Amino acid sequence: MKKLLKKRVIVSALAITILFTGTAFKSDFFEIAKQIEIFTTLFKELNMNYVDDTNPADLMDTAIKSMLDDLDPYTKYMNEQDVEAARINNTGDYTGIGARVRTLKNKLVIVEPYKGYPADKAGMKAGDEIIKVNNIVVSDFKENAGDLLKGSPGSKAEVTYLRQGQTKTATIERQEVEVDAVPLFSMIDDKTGYIALTKFNRKASEQTIEALRELKGDGAEKIVLDLRGNPGGLLSEAVNVTNIFVPKGQLVVTTKSKVKKFNKTYYTKRDPVDEKIPLVVLIDGGSASASEIVSGSLQDLDRAVIVGSRSFGKGLVQRPKRLTYGTQLKVTISRYYTPSGRCIQALDYWNRDKDGKAVRTQKNEYNEFKTKNGRPVYDGGGVKPDVEIDLSKPTAITKAIRKTDLIFDFATKYYYDNKVESLGSFKFKDSDFNAFKSYLRANDFAFETNTEKALDKVISIASEEELDKYISSDYSKLKESLGALKNKALNDNKEQLITLLESEIIKRYFYREGLYEYYLTNNLEIKTATEILGNAVKYQNFLE
């Protein structure tokens, strides 16, 4: 009788659960259908009755993007051109002129020509402003102007561009372009190899394995893996790159979602290339997503010493969902967790401040986790390096300058004003830094500190309360002092600014490959990594 009663209770509980689950599902489905019907009727009435002519496609595009803006910056609607751009980013292959290009309002700017590809062969340089492609004026083109440079292999693009105020033309024959995930690998010294991994496309692990094997063949007994500035890419490739250094069957990352089928655990599937070789991984604020999975998992597993500055803090996973007419929705489906169980997501997009901005997780809200050897690591703010390099942490003034194009534009000016014969002869002098400061002034560079914003708010409130006349002189003195401090900030951050300027300038003369070669002997993070690897006891102490 008791068994029968127990069975009835269980069946009743299951029935109630199913009823409520089904009711909740029906309720959600009804609400979605209701809102779609409201929007459809509104959209129809608006287009039929608005006083001026409307463009339904533009209205819908705005509506979709505005809706997604309330979520997170990674959930995006992708039109056909966006879908193709994403494919290129993931595969590393496309057909075009072989250059990274920035689209501005009325022109296309060459940011970086790839060595040996059509744009480079045609003599185009970083800073060239394309104003016309064939017979199409860029400023008149309403779609993505970057698409004008794409085309079938062998087709030609007649490009009109501005360089240092002069109008020039070039004929560029398009070709298939293969963007390497590993632009350079080399020996730092006779026992230390260096691999620069700049993106996680489908070639990332394959090219990293090739680089590692070749370096070991050259005598490498220790490795520096550089993930600085790597924005991420394919999660599967993050697992594969980690697998190069850890055994088969090792948990690398877990994803958790409200949709059960997206809850997954990712384990290494292959035998490692080398699970013993001493390893240092370099990261910075530009290392995100897949870069953080690799650095975070290697840190959790006590497999590598992490050097640099705190990573970006993107602990979210996206997946493209096919829509109609060749479009897609790239939607955030889950959060990911490193082997210790931490999620390094830094910004909370679901609990915003009064201005609607995502809130950054504060240090006092971080949770502690343990690595394989019991070392403390924390969630909520990116991957924190085992060895932090102050020089690589962006300050307020370097952040403000980087938000402008002034470093890029100064590098363009430097390139045309200075002749550099070889990488070894390059030297950014004090006079060059003074020229940069003058360039900032000439271009009206200014940035407002949080202190200034607070002071302006105080004087505004004082004005409303008619107290401003009593504090105006003190306010003026404070503003003047802050102005002097900001000028001093340029000199205080000289070393960091010079590093940024050198990185941009060197690419003008010697391409990206030359920049990484320059790093091998001049970069503080690489020198620190080499020093750690050169002392076996010191290296091991970081991992225990």
Q: Give the tens place of pLDDT for each residue, 74-88.
A: 998 887 777 777 776
Q: 43-59 pLDDT, tens per residue?
A: 999 999 999 988 998 88
Say how many CA atoms lie within 13 Å of 150 toward its Cβ. Answer: 13
- Active-site residue (options: 128, 226, 300, 386): 300
**How far apart are alpha carbons 120 and 168 in whole angstroms?**
15
Say how many CA atoms lie within 13 Å of 387 toward its Cβ. Answer: 22
**pLDDT attached to residue 452:** 65
Decide: residue 157, CB within 10 A, 0-12 exposed, 13-18 middle, 19+ buried. Answer: buried
Active site residue 300: yes
Q: Once rounded to an integer, what is the mean pLDDT over residues 194-203?
A: 95
Q: 394-422 pLDDT, tens per residue?
A: 888 898 899 899 999 999 999 999 999 99
Active site residue 156: no
- Active-site residue (options: 289, 295, 309, 392): 289
Q: 223-254 pLDDT, tens per residue?
A: 999 999 999 999 999 999 999 999 999 999 99
**pLDDT attached to residue 314:** 94
**How far apart are alpha carbons 320 and 21 in whole angstroms?**
27
**pLDDT attached to residue 483:** 65
**How far apart are alpha carbons 200 and 91 in whole angstroms?**
9
Active site residue 289: yes
Please calculate the CA angle 523-525-528 and round it to the nearest 5 degrees: 110
Looking up tokens 């004090």 gives 430
**pLDDT attached to residue 463:** 74
- Indicate if the pLDDT at residue 118 is higher than 70: yes
Candidate CATH numbers 2.60.120.560, 1.10.150.120, 2.30.42.10, 3.10.270.10; the one for domain 93-178:
2.30.42.10
For residue 539, what are the contacts with CB-CB under 8 A and spacing of at least 6? Answer: 278, 305, 532, 533
Give how far Cα 137 sits from Cα of 56, 108, 128, 130, Å: 26, 11, 15, 9
Candidate CATH numbers 3.90.226.10, 3.40.980.10, 2.30.42.10, 3.40.50.720; the one for domain 184-393:
3.90.226.10
- Indicate if the pLDDT at residue 462 is higher than 90: no
**pLDDT attached to residue 532:** 98
Q: 459 falls in which pLDDT band (50, 70, 90)?
A: confident
For residue 6, what are the contacts with CB-CB under 8 A and spacing of at least 6? Answer: none
Q: 478-534 pLDDT, tens per residue?
A: 766 666 666 778 889 999 999 999 999 999 999 999 999 999 999 999 999 999 999
- Of 5-9, 197-201, 324-328, 483-487, give the lowest mean pLDDT range: 5-9
Fill in the amino acid letter for 263. Answer: N
Give how far Cα 89 sits from Cα of 200, 204, 231, 294, Å: 9, 12, 11, 19
CB atoms within 10 A of CB 117: 21
- Active-site residue (options: 76, 222, 314, 330): 314
% helix, strand, coil for the chain, step of 5 = 45, 20, 35
| Mean predicted lDDT score pLDDT of the chain | 88
